[in-house]
Amino acid sequence: MSARLELIVGPMFAGKTERLIAKLHRAQYARKRVRILKPAFDTRTQGSIASRAVNADGGTEITATLPAVRLRHAGDFARHTQGDDYDVLAVDEAHFFPLDEPAGDLLGWFGRCVRDLLRARAKSDLRIIIAGLELDFAEAPFGPVPGLMALADSIEKLTGVCMICGSDAGYISHRIVPGDAQLVVGDTGEYQVRCRACYEPPAQRGRAALVEVKKAVG
């Protein structure tokens, strides 16, 4: 009997939350006590995690939800994970938990809290399941997720369908609106899933836009 950490990673619209909810439903069928957390930064749903599907109009619609507690800092995490009255701890959208500034490690406060909880309950059957993006829109490691992947007992890496060529190889959440900030909450109006061949790095898009401007002004 040993505590376990499971990661579900991949781009937006890859089905990470859908997979997480499926795992939690299965745990509930097995009469396991489930506790769900999410970052307060994710304001799309206030008190729940939600899986989404792209509809015929190109937008998204919610397909399933489960109630969740929003976390702002390590104190919130400690308060909502104390005791042993839960068997499964689930966390969605973990990439929104920030790293330290300046960065001291690859875990940040959230990753360290997870690591410490695993240590404290190492000889229990605690199961921690975390879902999130491992890459941001610029192909850079995103928040504490890559560090947590290094600690994980198992990792499910999902892909999406490229919204340009339709291949089942979407690996990155390509941002289609301007801006350099890493943390931008969005949906299909702000992001597309793209494969490696269709992905345009921000610097490359910037150069292309500059060329078009120069052509326009003669």
Active site residue 139: no
- DSSP 8-state class, residue 99: P
Distance in angstroms (rounded) separating the CA atoms of residues 135 and 146: 8
Domain boundaries, the chain: 4-158
Residue 19 has φ and ψ, to the nearest 5°, of -65, -40
Which of the four pLDDT bands, split at 50, 70 and 90, describes residue 40?
very high
Give me the pLDDT at residue 205, please.
58
User: How are strands ordered across the β-sheet holding 34-39?
Assistant: 69-71, 34-39, 88-91, 127-132, 4-9, 154-157
The stretch 74-85 carries a mean pLDDT of: 97
Tens-place pLDDT, residues 101-111: 988 899 999 99
Give me the pLDDT at residue 209, please.
40
Q: CA nearest 60: which of 186, 199, 194, 162?
A: 186
Tens-place pLDDT, residues 122-180: 999 999 999 999 999 999 999 999 999 999 999 999 999 999 999 999 999 999 998 88
Given the residues 6, 18, 93, 134, the one annotated as active site: 93
The answer to whether the CB of 45 falls within 8 A of the CB of 65 is: yes
Q: Which CATH number fits domain 4-158: 3.40.50.1000, 3.40.50.720, 1.10.10.10, 3.40.50.300?
A: 3.40.50.300
Mutual angle of helices 74-81 and 108-120, in 10-degree steps: 30
Tens-place pLDDT, residues 170-205: 999 999 998 888 888 888 889 999 999 999 999 765
Cross-strand partners of 69: 37
